[in-house]
Structure formats: structure tokens, C-alpha cells
Amino acid sequence: MSDGSTETSPHRGRLAALITAAVLVLIALAAYATLAFNVVTNAPLSNDEAQYLIRALWYENGTYRPYTTGDTSWLMPLYYRFAGAWIDLTGPDIAPLRWLSVTCGAVCAALMFTLTRKLTANTLAASAAAAIFLVTPSAGYAFATATPAAMVALLHTLALWLLIGAVGRPSLWRPAVFGVLLAVLFMTSRDTALIALALIPLYTIAVGRDRFMQCMTLIIATGAAIAGILWLYPARLTELALWGPLIAPVLDLAGIAPRALVQIDVATTGANMLSPAWPRDGLMQLVDTMLLPLAGALIACLALVALTGRALRVLWVVPIYLIWLVAGETISLLAPCDDCLVGQSAGSALPVAALGAGLSLAMIWRWARGRQLPGAPFVVGGALAVIAVSTFAPGLAMRSEYQFYPAAALRASGSVDMATDASRLGQLLIKDTSAGEQIVALHDVPALPYAIVMARRGISPQLLDPARTYRELTPAVTGARRDTVLAALEGHTLWTSDTLKRWLARGADSLLIETGNSFAEKDDAALLIAANFEAKATTTFAGHEFTLYTRRQ
């Protein structure tokens, strides 16, 4: 599968292939940089970005200690630490974090090139794989956000790179390093657990000799690294790391499930882990947020089975691994999250899909050269076709916000002057509230908590994303059991209408409520607001109207 030529001038053919590869990579980098610049400079904060940025700030300045009653983040810790260290260097702005993600994506593409080149000895096919990785629109968007997507993709690709380097080469240090890398990957994003479960046996098979010792070293290194990271944090992180839609029922049957998490699960509606159910719109979520945005790369990778035939069926491991990852993303839908798959799939499935696409294009090159045809047009045309399918397939999405994703998000970029809005809101809070005061903010605007924090005012962790952390108690929960469940909920940074009533009755001095917010109208909330607070001022933020209330004297 090399990029040598059978023309009268082999040197000229190789040179032409190298020039074509260089041009393809440069065009891909230009497209990636253009999209990244648009996202970094214009895109409003997403819910996930706001969560990571604010919590990274809190953990660095000591406002909260992670995984405690004060702030139980349900996400893994390493990206918080990574973001916090970067914030110390660059300041509490979203743009540097986004540029760091962009850089991780570019480095990942470079690894993708070297990995594909190592497997195929075909520079043009390797360039095509890197281009597919960079120019797939949904991934390019995800890699320009301050979320773990780009870091997960980089760690995943690095793991694949180490795996290929270990083929037939057992050693003492390589499985240990590989195990630590898998641990870091898992502690960056819990959704990567299935990556580790697949890569451990793949590594064991790949080394060829001394497999038992290699496997044991890998497992021990992975377990020790995870245990070491967990040891640095409160025990609650260990509980949350294991609390997923498949493992939670097993822990419950074994009688070792965390009592508070069991109480939350059985006494509330929402993300039920003990009896997970496929969401009503689960197929729609899977199609809209993963299968369509990555359609071109997925199809090209799966085509590898037909292109290789039985002679090179060892390469089938790539599409089989991809199917495993898609199944894993499907399982993650049992823990509801409206748009999580977009970023998850960019980090988990795309590196494998792009690698498989590169291998398929190398096989097409081989087929063309065997028939005395120029291979470059087939490879370049194939790469462009893959990118085109991934670009236009989201037009078939069943939900309007995902049609031609991320076009809708890009159209919204720049429509609001967020800096001006944040400055205006900050001045209002400084004028009418006290320094360090906790603001009860009922909203559906991801950037609002960040603006509050930048104004040196506080906000409860529950209200960073109120809709995601809100829980409804089941009617059967009454009396003393209700008090126990409420304590468990609030101790895990969740909240209910009872929590809001307590805040309104005596816990809050200032409210910032988005006009039409449903939480402000639940149960007796509207009556408590009218009785205990008076409207102080109104303002707009990110195109939404807000009213600031202060407690009556």
C-alpha cells in the first residue's frame, strides 16, 4: 500500500504524491483554522463550557472543594485540573481554553497522519485521514470548545499510536505507560470506559509474545493509576465514577451501591440508573448527534471490510472496534443528556473512523495502481466525498437544531454582543447587590453564571444549569423519608422545588429570574417571590430579559 509509482519516472510520481498530500493537509488546516477562529471568537458559551470554566475557577481559588457536599460535580476531575492550570497562566477567559482545545485537535491530526502512514506507508492516504479528522464539521466545532472533546480525541489517538507501536514488541515499560494513559483517559471522561475495555485485550493480542505478563502489567498499571487519582479526591468521586446505567444495578444487587445515590435514584424522576430505560427519542438522538454528523467517516471505515477482503482481514479490527464504540455511545443514552453525543463521538468514534477511512483510501490507491491508474485522484476524491457526506448528511436530522450541524450554532454566533451584556449585568449586580453575595439565578442561559462569577458574586452550583440538576420527587416520597431524600439530593448538588422554597423563604437575598422561567412559577414559588422580594431592575442578557429582585426589608 505504498505511494510509489509505476510510471517511467518513479521519483516524479512520488514527488507528485507528496505535493498532493501537502496541499491536501494545508487546505484541511486552513478549513479547520477558519472554523476554529469563528467558534473561538463568536460562539456563545455552551452549558458544558460554562460548567467546566466556572468549576475550574472555583477549584483553583478555593471557593469550593470538588466532590464534596458543597459541590458534587458529576463529571470526571482531570479536565477541571487541566483547565484550572491553564486559567492560572492565561486568566479566566474562555478564548484561551478554546484555543488550547484547537491545538489539541491539531496535534491529534498530526498523530493521525503518522499512525495511518505507519500502517499503510502511503503518505497521501495518511494526509487524507488527517484531513477527514480535521474537516468533519461537527468534530471541528467540538474541538474548538472548552470541553474535554479534543483532549479525549488526543488521548485516544495517542493510545492507538502506542498500540500499533507495540505490535510484536513486548516490553516492561510499554504496557505500564499504556495503562496510565487509559487511566488518564477514563478520569478525563467517564464515557471512555468502553475504550479501555476494548484496548486492553487488543493490546494483549497485538504484542504477540509473553501476553499474560503484558496483560497483567497493563491491568495493574491501569488500576493503580485510577486508584491513585481517586485517592487524591474525596470518596464521593469513587462512587460517582462507578455510578452508570449498567454498573449501578450490579452494585445494587451486590448490596454495595452508595446509599444516597440509591435514594436519589428510586425517589426521583429523571436520570434513573438502577432501572435504565431507552429514551423515547433515543434513536433520534443517536442519529442526529452521532451517525449523521460522522456519516462519511463511519461509512468509509466500515467499507474497509469489503475493500480488504480475507487477505488483509487483520485490518477488520478497525471497523469492529468502531462498531464497539458506537454501541458504547448508544448505551450512554441510558443516562439522558440532550446533546452530549456530539462532543463524545468526536473524541471517541472519530479517531477510529478517520483511521479506518484512511486505510480504505489506501486500499483504493492499491487497487488503482494495480490497474495502471493514477491513485491520487481516487484518494483525494474519496477524501472529499467522505467530508462532503459528513457535511451534508446532518441535513437529514430530525431535529431542526441539528440540521446541517453545526450550521445553526454558527449562524447564532455573533448575533449577541456577549461582552457588552456581561458588562451591563456586572454593573447592575455591583450596584444593587453585595460583594460575594449568593445570587439565586433561575435561567436557561449557559453564559449567565459566568457573568455572575466575573462580577464577583456567588451562585449555587445547582444553578449553573438548573434544568439538568433539577429533580422531581415521586408522589410516594413523604414524611421523614422526604427529608432524607432531600438531604441526599442537595448533598449531591441537585435541587427540587422544596430547595427553591427554602431559598426564597430565608436563604437568598437576591434573585435573578429570566422572564417566563418555569421554575419561578412552580408550586408556591411565585407567591413566595411576591411576598418576600421586590423587583429592583430589569436587564437583557444574551437576548433574554431578566429581572433582579432583592429581599424586602
Q: Which amino acid is at 52?
A: Y
Question: Dihedral through CA 100, CA 103, CA 104, CA 107, nearest 10?
Answer: -160
* DSSP-derived 3-state class of residue 263: helix
Indicate whether 26 pLDDT > 60.
Answer: yes
178's enclosing H/E stretch is: helix 173-188
Residues 36, 150: Cα–Cα separation, whole Å: 12
Residues 350, 100: Cα–Cα separation, whole Å: 19
The model's confidence at residue 8, banded by pLDDT at 50, 70 and 90, is very low
Q: What are phi and psi of 520, to 5 degrees?
A: -70, -10
Indicate whether 6 pLDDT > 50.
Answer: no
Average pLDDT over residues 118-133: 95
Is the separation of the CB atoms in 53 and 92 below 8 Å? Answer: yes
Average pLDDT over residues 489-493: 90
Q: Residues with Cβ < 8 Å from 445, sequence gap 6 or more?
A: 514, 541, 542, 544
Between 522 and 475, the higher pLDDT residue: 475
User: Sheet holding 544-551: strands in order across?
Assistant: 458-459, 438-442, 510-514, 544-551, 533-541
Give me 519's grid cell. 421554575
Q: 13-28 b/e with 16+ CB inside 10 Å = b?
A: bbebbeebbeebbeeb
Give me 134's grid cell. 480535521
Indicate whether 233 pLDDT > 80.
Answer: yes
Q: Which of 152-161, 342-351, 477-486, 507-516 has the lowest mean pLDDT?
A: 342-351
pLDDT computed for residue 185 by the predictor? 94
Indicate whether 342 pLDDT > 60.
Answer: no
Average pLDDT over residues 330-359: 74
Average pLDDT over residues 317-323: 93
Output the 3-class SS for 401-422: HHCCCCHHHHHHCCCCCHHHHH
pLDDT computed for residue 407 by the predictor? 80
% of the chain with per-residue pLDDT over 70 = 92
Between 410 and 31, the higher pLDDT residue: 31
pLDDT computed for residue 359 by the predictor? 96
Q: What is the model's pTM?
A: 0.90
Is the separation of the CB atoms in 139 and 185 below 8 Å? Answer: no
- Count CA atoms closer than 13 A to 400's CA, side-chain side: 0
pLDDT computed for residue 475 by the predictor? 85
Residue with cell 467517564: 190
pLDDT computed for residue 271 by the predictor? 62
Closest listed residue to residue 301, CA positions, set 382, 242, 222: 382
Between 299 and 278, the higher pLDDT residue: 299
